[in-house]
Amino acid sequence: MKRSLYILIAIVLVCFASCKSKKQVLDKPEGLINRSTMVKIIADSYIIESTVHLSADTISKSELAQKYYKELFQRYNITREQFVSSINYYVSEESSAEKLLSDASKLIEKKRESYHIPAVSEDKTNSGAGAVDIASGSPSVTPGLDTIRR
């Protein structure tokens, strides 16, 4: 897997921005990841991207992202293609995308609380996260989850 991994939020943002219809515009893809699992994957992906973004500059962020996403895909027994096609399907309908991101955000908050990590102020959560594009391997900067929900 020589290509770097895209930040999940970038995929969601691109797909979300391209959606204009209120109805589901895509047919269910083969191997669609069920919604409850997708919420967990999105939450884990956001945590991965945050971890990669905050990692020391001496570590290759691209290699680190690849490693974490490979582990994520193995944990959920999915392929990158399933991941991408499932995201595209769920975000093709605006209210579904909003609910998916909202549920993922709530799950992240529950995880944060379970580890007794203090909440980050609003202005810090929107500073963006450095990411790596799944397809091209090029670095990108994307907004935080709160920015996408607005």
- Positive/negative CA dihedral, 78, 89, 109, 66: positive
What amino acid occupies position 89?
Y
Distance CA 37, CA 56 (A): 30
Instruction: Specify the pLDDT at position 62.
Output: 87
49 part of a folded domain: yes
Q: What DSSP letter does each residue of 72-134 carry, written as one string? A: HHHHTT--HHHHHHHHHHHHTSHHHHHHHHHHHHHHHHHHHHHTTPPPPPHHHHTS-EEEE-T
pLDDT-flagged residues of the chain (< 50):
1-9, 20-22, 124-150
Number of domains the chain is built from? 1
71 part of a folded domain: yes
34 part of a folded domain: yes
30 part of a folded domain: yes
Instruction: Specify the pLDDT at position 32.
Output: 94
134 part of a folded domain: yes
Instruction: Specify the pLDDT at position 140.
Output: 40
At residue 40's C-alpha, the angle toward residues 39 and 41, to 5°, is 90
At residue 52's C-alpha, the angle toward residues 116 and 54, to 5°, is 60
How much is the pTM? 0.63
Which tens digit of pLDDT belongs to each residue from 51-80? 888 887 777 888 899 999 999 999 999 999
Structure tokens at 76: 């959920």
Instruction: Specify the pLDDT at position 96.
Output: 84
Distance CA 84, CA 18 (A): 15
Q: What DSSP letter does each residue of 48-60 carry, written as one string? A: HHHHHHHS-TTS-
Determine the structural domain holding residue 61 and report its residue range.
Answer: 8-19+26-149
Q: What three-state secondary structure class fits 70?
A: helix
83 part of a folded domain: yes
108 part of a folded domain: yes
2 part of a folded domain: no
